[in-house]
A = this chain, B = another copy of it.
Amino acid sequence: MPDVNFSNPASNPDSRAAEARAAAARDGDLRWDIIELLFFAYRDFVGDADHELEAFGFGRAHHRVLHFVYRYPGLKVADLLDVLRITKQSLGRVLKQLLDEGYIVQKTGNNDRRQRLLFATAKGEALVGRLAGLQTTRINRALADLAPDDAETVRRFLRAMIDRDDPDKVLETIFKTGPATKKD
């Protein structure tokens, strides 16, 4: 029989002094509910893919790389670094695995022979497609509870949550297509 009280934040033994502080003044204005919902929703959303990836000996990092390479064929290594916001060294390891195991191929750039343009192979497409399928199922299930045009509201909310100060190339293409884009 658990006796957790789950009472209101203000009623805890050590916060009497803090009640006069930000709590009373600002706490009620904070979006605690959405903050928590985002945490749980994203946890379960990526959990779909994480679970499947285990069977391949891959992690979340592999998924991200494969996803963006599939979605934006001919992506350069430098572009990928911009999008994922990780270092060359971190990317190097997972990219090497994906190349070695045949999920991605490199192709020397036509104009600039220094570049290694990245493409997903059929094997890579199959994997990323299966992962997107799992996540799509979850999204469709969630949208099914809502009105038809609420999907567009969700899209607009998510777009507005994204920083637009220094958009990388992928983000530019995402935002270039008007806010009313249905699917891709």
List A38-77 residues whose CB lies under 8 Å from chain B.
38-45, 47, 64, 67, 70-76
Q: Are A120 and B28 in contact (CB under 8 A)?
A: no
Q: Provided the pairs A38-B42, A160-B142, A161-B138 are in contact, do residues A79 and B4 lie with their beta carbons within 8 angstroms? A: yes
- With both beta carbons as reference points, the residue of chain B lying nearest to A162 in the complex is identified as B40
Contacts of A34 in B (CB 8 A): 139, 151, 154-155, 158
Q: Are B33 and A155 in contact (CB under 8 A)?
A: yes
Q: How far is the CB of A161 from the nearest CB of chain B, in Å?
A: 4
Residue among B32, B120, B140, B169 making CB contact with A71, cutoff 8 Å: B32
Q: How far is the CB of A116 from the nearest CB of chain B, in Å?
A: 12
Name the prevailing secondary structure of the A interface residues.
helix
Q: How far is the CB of A106 from the nearest CB of chain B, in Å?
A: 11
Q: Work out how many copies of this chain go into the complex.
A: 2
Residue among B17, B28, B37 making CB contact with A158, cutoff 8 Å: B37
Residue among B3, B36, B75 making CB contact with A111, cutoff 8 Å: B3
Contacts of A147 in B (CB 8 A): 153
Contacts of A12 in B (CB 8 A): 73-74, 119-120
Q: Are A133 and B30 in contact (CB under 8 A)?
A: yes
Residue among B4, B35, B142 making CB contact with A161, cutoff 8 Å: B142
The 8 closest A-B pairs by CB, nearest first: A142-B160, A18-B122, A37-B158, A12-B73, A41-B161, A12-B119, A41-B158, A31-B136
- Chain A residues with CB under 8 Å of chain B are 1-9, 11-15, 17-18, 21-23, 26-45, 47, 64, 67, 70-76, 79, 85, 105, 107, 109-112, 115, 117, 119-122, 125-126, 129, 132-133, 135-136, 138-143, 145-147, 150-151, 153-163, 169, 171, 173-174, 181, 183-184
